Structure 1
Amino acid sequence: MTYNIQLTREFIAAWEDKNLDKILAMMSENCVYHNIPLPVMEGHDKIREFIAPVLEMSQRIVWDIHYIAEDDANSVFTERTDKFLINEKWVELPVCGIMTFEKGLITHWRDYFDLMTFEDAMKAAHS
């Protein structure tokens, strides 16, 4: 296992632990985070603003990795199912993500998912 793949697994574990401080500590100060198709976020303050409510509303978080690989440009690709237990209902979202690392920190993170799938699952969790 490469160092960046290990870091990616640790990053996912921080999500599953709902540890916002560790999540942010694993990102560079000016990290660019893009949940495609949502707007781009840059920097810890913007990213914290987005992530904190997700962690707070989730009773549990589980990210199942189906595939993980690294290229020679320090980018790690993951195919995952991200699961969030909200109001005793699981919200499951198929995701493909790319994290680019520099000096042990995530500098760019892009997650690709279907927004309608997410919105429908969130409605079901809040019904």
Structure 2
Amino acid sequence: MTDDDKIAIFRRMAQAWQDQDFRTCADLFAPDGVLHSVMLDPVVGREAIYDRISKLAAPNKKVTLHIHRIGVIGDALFTERTDEIVIDGRSGESPVVGVLTFEGGKIKLWREYYDRAQLMRAAGHAS
């Protein structure tokens, strides 16, 4: 898998996330892939990942992943981005760093580093 392939998969993921196409997001993971928002327990397995992220779908909600930097170091893809969350017309932002590894053309592990309290405020929840 080339570095460009890894970047293309992440960009596809970011677009599917924004489109609330969580089936596509989950299908980009290996069957035993792991999604680990480091402030929460890891979610293991493509279907468990789909179950978790599909709960984010809502007609009044949109999440846009604004990618500032993306690159590959060794076998890992790194992204620095700001996630913009709009719920009922109210917008909030949260800075995030993601680190992904791949296996067989799929995401094997996606770790997300962010300040959970800031993310919750961005989503309109009091801290």
TM-score (norm 2): 0.88
Aligned partner of 1:59 among 45, 52, 61 = 61
1:22 is paired with a residue whose SS is helix
TM-score of the two chains, using structure 1 as the length reference: 0.88
* 8 Å CA contact 1:82, 1:95 repeated in 2: yes
Structure 1 unaligned segments of length 5 or more: list them.
none
Structure 1 segments of 4+ aligned residues over 4 angstroms from their partners: none
Amino acid of the structure 2 residue aligned with 1:116: A
**In the alignment, what sits opposite 2:83?**
82
Equivalent residue runs for 1:4-43 within 5 Å: 4-43=6-45
In structure 2, the residue matched to 1:47 is 49
Q: What is the CA RMSD across the aligned residues, in angstroms?
A: 1.8
Which SS does the other structure have where 2:20 is aligned? coil
Q: Identity percentage over the alignment?
A: 28
Q: Distance in 2 between matches of 1:99 and 1:55?
A: 23
Partner of 1:69: 71
Instruction: Return the structure number with greater helix share.
Output: 1
In the alignment, which residue of structure 2 is the partner of 1:99? Answer: 100
Is the 2:85–2:123 contact (alpha carbons within 8 Å) kept by the matching residues of 1? no
Please say if 1:119 is aligned against 2:120. yes
Question: How many residues are matched?
Answer: 124
Which 10-residue stretch deviates more, 44-53 or 77-86? 44-53
**Structure 2: gaps (5+ residues):** none
